[in-house]
Structure 1
Amino acid sequence: MSHKSLLSTLRSTRTAAPLLTALVSAAAATGAMAQSNVTISGTIDAAMYRGFDGIAISKGTQVGSLQRSDLTFSGKEDLGGGLATTFRLSTRFEPDTGATEQSNKPFWYGESTVGLKGGFGHVRIGRAMDAVTANDWAYDPWENFDRLASPAWQFWHYNYAVDRRGNAGSAEYFRLNNGVFYDSPTYGGVSVSVNTSFEKSTAAGAGQATPYGLALKYGTGGFKTTFSSGRNADGDTVKFLGLKQAFGDFTVMGAYDVSTYRGSVSNSTARSATLGATWQLNPVLLQASIGRMSVDGDHSQMVSLGGRYPLSKRTYLYSSVSRFKMYQKDGATGFGAGVNHSF
């Protein structure tokens, strides 16, 4: 299946209450321990929006998460000597219906890891975002957090699947199952993130290459850059370069991504380049981006504008509008507005 087929397919339960009740009780009990702490956090996002009719996101005006909603349990225990154990459990849901985000995804879709953290860095084991997708969001004015406006959402991430069968047989574009993840300390502004999986898939037709992700990061003052590279078990590859510079309240950023899908007969390569900016014009945050993607000679373009207005430190109103032209289809405009609350 080529990049175009994947993108076209992409764009064309269990009851959680008993489990969450048990987790809340466990969190309260654990929080009483002197050397442990547990945090319950998350985001509830609700919007009215209209997708790119005939191109991406289902047609018509909709109500739901435009910037996604999640519930996360995280914590650590001090083991002494600068060493701590950590855990993170994160699920995603749709606030308009109360359902989990998609039926083919695991309940703990966002992350399910346990690890150790110390002077050597942070090691986690479980399911989490790979080193590429965990870091490239920093070069998107929407931080990969808007289904309409985000260039990362529309251009970078769906050109490369971290695991072609990671969600009950369907593709997982962000997270690695059965993974080992390492984040280093920062030395002189430099840090690295790496991940791999030693477990081979038993699914029919699954590739047997050892997957990996690597991100090399550097930041100083208002400047930040990341180079990352990854490969999945089927031999698909991704390379990403991001640059960002802050000039006071104004920040410019750029990204370039090359993703190659390994087919049974021939390979398919997607290249995307985006340029974005944010401007903190107190109290409003303004966002803008322009991008272009080429997949085997066919081109797509997108221009996006947006803004956020804070009501408090945890709540803001937002709106966004994008003009998207995909391959040889006519362009379409998507727009939406909503409210986002974090806790």
Structure 2
Amino acid sequence: MTKKFNWQALALCLYAAQNCHAQSSVTLSGLIDAGVSYVSNEGGSGNLKFDDGIFVPNLLTLSGREDLGGGTQAVFNLTNQFVLGSGSTLPGQGIFGRTAYVGLDDNRLGRLTFGNQYDFMTDALFGGLTDAASFTSGLYQFRNGPFDKLGLPGNPTGAFDWDRLAGERITNSVKYQSTSFHGISVGAMYGFGNVAGSIGTGNASSFGLSYVNGAFGASAAYTLVKDATASGQVSVRNWGVGSHYRLGAVTATALFTTVHNDANGAAVWQAELGGLWEMNSSWSLSSAYSYMKGNSVVDDNHAHQLSAMLQYLLSKRTSVYASAVYQRATQGSTAQINAVFVPSSTPSQAIVRVGMTTRF
């Protein structure tokens, strides 16, 4: 029996928050990841620590669908993200803070859902398997760096996951995803600000376009989020394009993403190349390189990041892995790999990790 892992299924099931179900069913599913990481420089000192939710987030999902006839189904999804080390929910999140939506799915007309949902930076680009983070280093591979002056609202570092591919959500949203037509699918969503007398305050919009033809796929996405802050409304814009190509046991990915904070003019772009080699039914080796560059508002800082991961599949559901990430930033700045919430005291930072992940 082969144990070869379906990487695209993981990306779609995890971040697009859609599982493969029988008709008229309710399913409890989840993802769990735990391990030990060593950070070379965290605030000036090395740190050996237990860290979880890295290669995949720790999720518990209750989802379901009801067959309404004529090719139409009612669907819902309630997903909780939790901290495995303590058993608590993530700070600032409610019990279903990851995703919570209900809607209709028609095999001809497409899918219409309402609630707290991923935007198309996640659905089209990450879900389209264009981001190397889907197969190497996970949360550590998503974008951060010496860009705290981006000043993104509600952001733990000012630049954590600045291009939104790690699964950022739009609340109070209505979302439409078309079916595939000759490999092409489109999507659009709108998030209501719910501010009386000002429809445009605190709202959000996102659009996605994807194309798949056999081993090749390409996607593009755009998201605009407006946040009402104490100093006024802050608009943050993201857009990106990416592609993947699978040739036998090797998958190559390319990704370009951007962010622009309209409030202070800060902007960053990044280009990433990634590769996955499934050596046999149990072993895989992956790596990625990304270059990030900011404008003058973020001091023209830039960063190079390299990552690699070796994974062994114990079964179709469970694997163990070893990964490494290294970031080198502009001289005089401080490196900060994503999910390390204390930056390095120098322009370089490295992480090595061993971990285990399972899904059910």
The alignment's TM-score, normalised by the length of structure 1, stands at: 0.79
Gap change, CA 1:225 and 1:165, over 3 Å in 2:
same
Question: Which residue of the partner structure matches residue 348 of structure 2?
Answer: 331
1:272 corresponds, among 270, 288, 305, to: 270
Question: Which residue of the partner structure matches residue 49 of structure 2?
Answer: 62
Question: Which residue of the partner structure matches residue 25 of structure 2?
Answer: 37
Is 2:186 aligned against 1:200?
no
Give the counterpart letter for 1:256 in structure 2.
Answer: F
Question: Which residue of the partner structure matches residue 223 of structure 1?
Answer: 216
1:141 corresponds, among 124, 132, 136, to: 132
Question: Which residue of the partner structure matches residue 9 of structure 2?
Answer: none
Alpha-carbon distance, 1:103 to partner: 1.8
1:108 corresponds, among 96, 108, 111, to: 96
Question: Which residue of the partner structure matches residue 39 of structure 2?
Answer: 51
Gap change, CA 1:242 and 1:222, over 3 Å in 2:
same
| Structure-2 separation of matches of 1:280 and 1:238 | 32
Gap change, CA 1:62 and 1:129, over 3 Å in 2:
same
Give deviations 1:225-274, integer Å, cap 9, x for gaps: 011111112322111010111111111111111210112xx411101111
Q: What are the residue-to-residue correspondences of 1:177-188 with 2, within 5 Å?
A: 177-188=171-182
Secondary structure of the residue that 2:316 maps to in structure 1? coil
Give the counterpart letter for 1:132 in structure 2.
Answer: M
Contact 2:192–2:202 at 8 Å: present in 1 too? no
Aligned length: 298
Is 2:184 aligned against 1:190?
yes
Question: Which residue of the partner structure matches residue 12 of structure 2?
Answer: none
Gap change, CA 1:145 and 1:113, over 3 Å in 2:
farther
Answer 1 or 2: higher relative contact order, Cα 8 Å, separation at least 6: 2
| Structure-2 separation of matches of 1:111 and 1:142 | 20
Give the counterpart letter for 1:47 in structure 2.
Answer: G
Question: Which residue of the partner structure matches residue 26 of structure 1?
Answer: none
1:307 corresponds, among 302, 310, 315, to: 310
| Structure-1 separation of matches of 2:60 and 2:247 | 34
Contact 2:193–2:202 at 8 Å: present in 1 too? no
Gaps of 5+ in 1: 1-30
Contact 1:159–1:259 at 8 Å: present in 2 too? no
Gap change, CA 1:52 and 1:241, over 3 Å in 2:
farther
| Structure-1 separation of matches of 2:149 and 2:273 | 18
Alpha-carbon distance, 1:165 to partner: 5.2
Secondary structure of the residue that 1:139 maps to in structure 2? coil
Gap change, CA 1:83 and 1:59, over 3 Å in 2:
farther
| Structure-1 separation of matches of 2:23 and 2:183 | 31
| Structure-1 separation of matches of 2:131 and 2:149 | 16
| Structure-2 separation of matches of 1:35 and 1:331 | 51
| Structure-2 separation of matches of 1:278 and 1:303 | 14
Give the counterpart letter for 1:295 in structure 2.
Answer: G
Contact 1:148–1:320 at 8 Å: present in 2 too? no
| Structure-1 separation of matches of 2:185 and 2:224 | 20
Secondary structure of the residue that 1:104 maps to in structure 2? coil
Give deviations 1:258-314, integer Å, cap 9, x for gaps: 210112xx4111011111110110121111000111112210110001021000110
Contact 1:160–1:237 at 8 Å: present in 2 too? no
Alpha-carbon distance, 1:210 to partner: 4.0
Give the counterpart letter for 1:44 in structure 2.
Answer: I
Secondary structure of the residue that 1:142 maps to in structure 2? helix
Further displaced range: 284-293 or 209-218: 209-218
Contact 1:44–1:340 at 8 Å: present in 2 too? yes
| Structure-2 separation of matches of 1:201 and 1:143 | 36
Question: Which residue of the partner structure matches residue 22 of structure 1?
Answer: none
The alignment's TM-score, normalised by the length of structure 2, stands at: 0.75
Alpha-carbon distance, 1:166 to partner: 9.8
Alpha-carbon distance, 1:139 to partner: 1.6
Question: Which residue of the partner structure matches residue 121 of structure 2?
Answer: 132
Secondary structure of the residue that 2:124 maps to in structure 1? helix
| Structure-2 separation of matches of 1:254 and 1:191 | 20
Gaps of 5+ in 2: 1-20, 227-233, 335-346
Secondary structure of the residue that 2:125 maps to in structure 1? helix
Alpha-carbon distance, 1:149 to partner: 4.2
Question: Which residue of the partner structure matches residue 14 of structure 2?
Answer: none
